[in-house]
Chains A and B, each alone.
Chain A
Amino acid sequence: QVQLQQSGPGLVKPSQTLSLTCVISGDSVSSNSAAWNWIRQSPSRGLEWLGRTYYRSRWYNDYAESVKSRITINADTSKNQFSLQLNSVTPEDTAVYYCARAPELNWFDPWGQGSLVTVSS
């Protein structure tokens, strides 16, 4: 079955860049029937979808308006993984970050294990 394994730093300083990676097993990041998403969860904002990347003859990216100016999601086909970069972070970006697969651009299943990222000096 599909499994997602996240990695990345748990502490980021304000104004710096948050970077996380999600390694895929059991599927391909280049799949024509899935999209690869980042979602975060915090007590103040709840579950918030951040963006996705997917391949349909070419690569597409969609981002949430709330982070559109600061976010980049990339796929690495050689390592079968995708990554999140969030620039110019503030304490409001402190959250548990999840990667998740969306079959046919729909619901999210499965999810990665989650990564708590704290923005603090």
Chain B
Amino acid sequence: DIVMTQSPDSLAVSLGERATINCKSSQTVLYSSNNKEYLAWYQQKPGQPPKLLIYWASTRESGVPDRFSGSGSGTDFTLTISSLQAEDVAVYFCQQYYTTSYTFGQGTKLEIK
């Protein structure tokens, strides 16, 4: 299975500041035939299921605020929140769908400083 490792495990950022979460895969998730990165990002708030934010590593899901952005390629990816809002407090997960045996990162807990 592809192992997804996120860093840091937790992060405290001041309101209005930038938050950056990293995700590293144990092997590439780039499918060369279509040049797409098979990586998604989710946000999970307490008591709720994960919510899709980003797919194809950088495509924002409809309705997701544009302060959320995804970047990266190959094995290294980043989720950036450009200006942290109070409602962004949550746990964030990356997930690869390159192989059928889908795997997730362990999660990064984002809090307000």
Chain A residues in contact with chain B, CB under 8 A? 46-49, 62, 64-65, 98, 100, 102, 105-114
Binding site of A, secondary structure by majority: helix, strand, loop or mixed?
loop
Cross-interface CB contact of A98 among B1, B38, B49, B101, cutoff 8 Å: B49
Binding site of B, secondary structure by majority: helix, strand, loop or mixed?
loop
Contact B101 A106 (CB under 8 A): no
Q: How far is B38's CA from A64's CA once the two chains are assembled, in angstroms?
A: 18
Size of interface on B: residues with Cβ below 8 Å to A: 21
Q: How far is B42's CA from A30's CA once the two chains are assembled, in angstroms?
A: 26
List 9 tightest A-B contacts by C-beta distance, closest first. Answer: A111-B49, A107-B40, A47-B104, A109-B52, A49-B102, A107-B55, A106-B97, A62-B100, A114-B49
B93 at the interface (CB under 8 A from A): yes
Nearest B residue to A50, CB-CB: B102
